[in-house]
Amino acid sequence: MRIAAAALAALLASCGYHVAGHSDLLPKTIHTVCIPAFQNATIRYKMTDHLPEAISRELIARTHYKIVANPSDADAVLNGTVLNYFSGATIADPTTGRATAVDVHLILKITFTERATGKVLFTRPSMDVRERYEVAVDQLTYLDESDLALDRIARQAAGTIVTAILDNF
């Protein structure tokens, strides 16, 4: 019985399963990453600032990579473009007709390239990220949530991007 249990444990340990976002399928030669400012094809200018910062924090938190400012000092470069940004009210207060929730929809182009070889390690030409934020109906308690929503969507996008890169899918 113990031999069967040991054999099963060995089999399961070697079958290649892993927790999503915690593997590292990138070349072992990568130690430094540069994330330059994102390109912007929209009129929403702040998003291009939020994304590189959020992705840098996510990479630092989840990997051993060092973030560098100069692409020529990096082993890999993550380039991004904000292709489209949509936002619109999705829920309205029935009494006042004012919006109480806004959906934000972001389309990104992401490319992660090994600098020395020029090999594209990961690309996602049309990554879709969404976030919803609440809007206070009462004008006395109204707080503009749009910047906070940009922070949340940037963190969500960063998590999605880093997981996709690390799992190489």
> Is residue 11 included in any domain, yes or no?
no
Residue 35 sits in a domain of what CATH number? 3.30.160.150
> Is residue 10 included in any domain, yes or no?
no
**pLDDT digit string (tens) for 122-152?**
999 999 988 777 766 655 555 556 677 778 8
Cα 45–114–68 angle (5° rounding)? 55
> Is residue 2 included in any domain, yes or no?
no
> Is residue 19 included in any domain, yes or no?
no
> Is residue 162 included in any domain, yes or no?
yes
| Owning domain of residue 162 | 24-167
> Is residue 7 included in any domain, yes or no?
no
Is 0.85 surpassed by the pTM of this model? no
pLDDT score for 21: 41
Counted domains in the chain: 1
CB 98 within 8 A of CB 56: no
Least Cα distance to 84 among 108, 51, 103, 55 occurs for 108
